[in-house]
Homo-oligomer: A and B are copies of this chain.
Amino acid sequence: MNDLTDNPISATVDFERDGVQHGFLKLPYSRDDSAWGAVMIPITVIKRGAGPTALLTGGNHGDEYEGPVALSKLAQQLSADEVSGRVIIVPFMNTPAFQAGRRTSPIDKGNLNRSFPGKPDGTVTEKIADYFRRTLLPLADIVLDIHSGGRTLDFLPFAACHVLPDKHQQAQCEAGMRAFNAPYSMRMLELDAGAMYDTAAEQQGKVFVTTELGGGGSSSARSVAIAERGVHNLLVHAGIVEGDIALRPTVMLDMPDGDCFMASEHDGLLEMCRDLGEEVSKGEVIARVHDIKRTGAAPVEYRARRSGLLAARHFPGLVQCGDTLAVVAETVG
């Protein structure tokens, strides 16, 4: 049984020591260009006395940037004096993917958020997953994983929590999401969540908040500000950092069924007819796919299957058969 095998990752920081420590999670990785090499995952631990632990992560997908920027700044700026309890910061969770600017790991093509529960003797990505599940998550009370759309998707900025079987836990997660206070908020029912980090955290009873804050493989001053404010709010909410949370209005979104998702059945040049945040009506053309091999051919039209707000879109200018073109969300109460 894998859970009896030790994970080969060792930390150069001491999770029980007070103060600020910057170090690495060191994962031995023997390969052609380094027989005795290692994957080095940067980590910061900031601790003072007793109190709850927050585990803050970015770079779960390596091409999403609000988390890495906001958490790099937090790691550099937060002093132990400001903390009651512990903040564990891993800004570049899937470090090999992040350093390559790719969603997945260039080492093993691993999508970290589809690699849980992980394996201590598996691929590099599976070892990282196992270490988070068996070593870091048990240390935490509240867990925030900052996502964005990455290079190929773009999202309205929202924080999210999941519909969970334990309604008390769900309420706590929802309180965390509301404390994060992004411009949009979403309560999600994940259908195929078995291999996600979210599930690994929730199954251990943690308060878990996730986000989608933009995309396109970039970040902006505006989207980073949302992340920084949300992280600060959440630490205050958790009682780790002192301060007030001045809540701003947030739009509650819902994606009730599969009709929210629109996929392309053609390769080609994408023309979006609506932009993120715009209202769309059922039956309206919201995207066209043009032929890139010839001129004069009629484009394929894709029509909304429900009314709502354009909440996400395919980002790159070219699209492949099977790609999700757009997501239409419903605004709730």
Contact = CB atoms under 8 A, between A and B. Distances in A.
A287 B237 CA distance: 30
B98 A218 contact: no
A271 B29 CA distance: 23
B152 A33 contact: yes
A22 B296 contact: yes
A75 B296 contact: yes
A14 to B, nearest CB: 15
Nearest to A24: B265
B317 A218 contact: yes
Interface string A282-301: 00000000111111111100
A221 interface: yes
A149 interface: yes
Nearest to A321: B40
Contacts of A298: 76
A30 B299 contact: no
Given A65-B269, A103-B30, A151-B32, A42 B317 contact: no
Contacts of A217: 216, 315-317
Given A221-B274, A293-B267, A295-B22, A61 B38 contact: no
Nearest to A91: B295
Contact of A295 (B26, B72, B266, B271): B72
A1 interface: no
A22 B297 CA distance: 9
Contact of A272 (B42, B44, B219): B219
A91 B296 CA distance: 11
A216 B217 CA distance: 8
A263 interface: yes
A105 B274 CA distance: 31
A324 interface: yes
A31 interface: yes
A76 B297 contact: yes
Nearest to A324: B36
Nearest to A194: B121
Contacts of A168: none
Contacts of A315: 216-218
A222 interface: yes
Contacts of A111: 30-31
Nearest to A150: B35
B218 A323 contact: no
A110 to B, nearest CB: 11
Interface of A: 8, 20, 22, 24, 26, 29-40, 42-44, 61, 63-65, 68-69, 72-73, 75-76, 89, 91-92, 98-99, 101-104, 109, 111, 114, 121, 149-154, 192, 195, 216-222, 224, 263, 265-267, 269-275, 278, 290-299, 314-318, 320-324
